[in-house]
Amino acid sequence: MSELLDLAGIFVFALSGALMGVRKRLDVVGMAVLAEITALGGGLVRDLILNVRPAAFQSLGYVLVPLAATVIVFFWHPHVARVMPAILVLDAAGLGLFCAVGTAKAMEYGLSPLHASLLGVTSAVGGGMLRDVLAGEIPTLLYDRQLYAVPALMGSAAMAGLASYGLHGWPATLAAAVLAFGLRIAAMRRNWRAPLARGAGE
């Protein structure tokens, strides 16, 4: 079940990476690279920091699912773009799931709650950050104007807190993921923004 949820989140993130490739007028190879790095980048960074074999290299599905997303976007990107509101909801779910799972895994490997939370955020937003760098964009993480990293941080902190009190397993993971998901959805619907420095223009 957990692997299916992982693959669902990977698929949604891969769609956003492939769509970035379309917007940047990349060929199918460039689209596939952005899809793979968006979907897998955060988890790869997390596992390398934990000094474990990345999950992406343990299952063929982790590599094939982003390729499938690339094919879908390659042939039907106008249709995919039209359903972006629904994709953003799924993206928020993936964000919540990845930050919670990443934090839980970091705690299992002995990291402190603070460091585990930071690694959970990396799991959730690292792929998008690498995508933006490769595509020549300012990474969203550096201007969290749509409250993307903040919900991930809150979800990661909640997961670390629950784990510190001995609460593990899917109920704790689900609670932390739902918190991050809810904050992200609220930010999108209410147009919440992170503040700029005092006196800085929009």
User: What pLDDT digit, counting tens, does each position of 62-112 carry?
Assistant: 999 999 999 999 999 888 878 878 778 878 888 998 999 999 999 999 999
> Would the pLDDT of 165 be above 70?
yes
Q: Is residue 195 in a domain? A: no
The better pLDDT of the pair 53, 83 is held by: 53
Q: Is residue 16 in a domain? A: yes
Q: Is residue 202 in a domain? A: no
Residue 18 belongs to domain spanning = 2-190
> Would the pLDDT of 150 be above 60?
yes
> Would the pLDDT of 34 be above 90?
yes
Average pLDDT of the chain, as a whole number = 88
Q: What is the pTM of this model?
A: 0.85
Q: Is residue 201 in a domain? A: no
The pLDDT assigned to 201 comes to 58
The pLDDT assigned to 191 comes to 83
Q: Is residue 127 in a domain? A: yes
Q: Is residue 18 in a domain? A: yes
Torsion angle of alpha carbons 65, 70, 75, 78, nearest 10°? 110
The tally of domains found in the chain comes to 1
Q: Is residue 199 in a domain? A: no
> Would the pLDDT of 7 be above 60?
yes
> Would the pLDDT of 33 be above 80?
yes
Residues 6+ apart with CB under 8 A from 35: 14, 15, 17, 18, 21, 66, 67, 69, 70, 73
Q: Is residue 150 in a domain? A: yes
Q: What is the mean pLDDT of residues 142-147?
A: 71
> Would the pLDDT of 1 be above 60?
no
